[in-house]
């Protein structure tokens, strides 16, 4: 059986891939654990707040704001910047693609490139509500939007 899909990726599709990949990566899990650890430290330090409220309140506010800002920059803002740069610089992604799916391979054709992915070379398949991600390595995937 053979399925053929034709369409163009949007920058939002690439953004969704970055979000999907980051949320499932080990690094994201480490950042979540670090954030939880920081919150626990801050909760324990609130006990000191009741002992000496004036001086300690200033330091806890500065520390908390700093750690939350660093966490947000690393895990949320940085991928937003990268996906736009990658999308604008990659002409292959912006071309119209014809994706042919068979039982043995996936063929992705565009104006300038033809990619054939054998099923043995697909490391992992991920998906969300509107996209399928075919990982060919740990960090690279072909994005197939369901709304093509």
What is the pLDDT at residue 25?
Answer: 75
> Which of the two residues, 146 and 124, has the higher pLDDT score?
124
How far is residue 62 from each of residues 36, 39, 52, measured CA to CA in Å?
A: 18, 14, 16
Quote the pLDDT of residue 102. 92
Over residues 72-90, mean pLDDT: 74
Record the pTM.
Answer: 0.65
């Amino acid at each position: 059986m053979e399925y053929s899909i034709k369409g163009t990726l949007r920058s939002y599709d690439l953004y969704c891939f970055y979000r999907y990949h980051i949320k499932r990566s080990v690094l994201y899990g480490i950042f979540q654990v670090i954030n939880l650890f920081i919150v626990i430290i801050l909760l324990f330090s609130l006990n000191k707040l009741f002992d000496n409220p004036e001086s300690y309140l200033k330091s806890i506010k500065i520390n908390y704001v700093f750690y939350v800002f660093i966490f947000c920059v690393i895990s949320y803002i940085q991928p937003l910047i990268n996906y736009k740069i990658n999308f604008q610089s990659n002409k292959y992604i912006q071309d119209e693609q014809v994706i042919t799916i068979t039982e043995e391979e996936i063929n992705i054709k565009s104006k300038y490139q033809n990619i054939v992915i054998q099923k043995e070379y697909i490391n992992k398949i991920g998906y969300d509500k509107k996209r399928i991600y075919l990982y060919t390595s740990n960090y690279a995937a072909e994005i197939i939007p369901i709304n093509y």
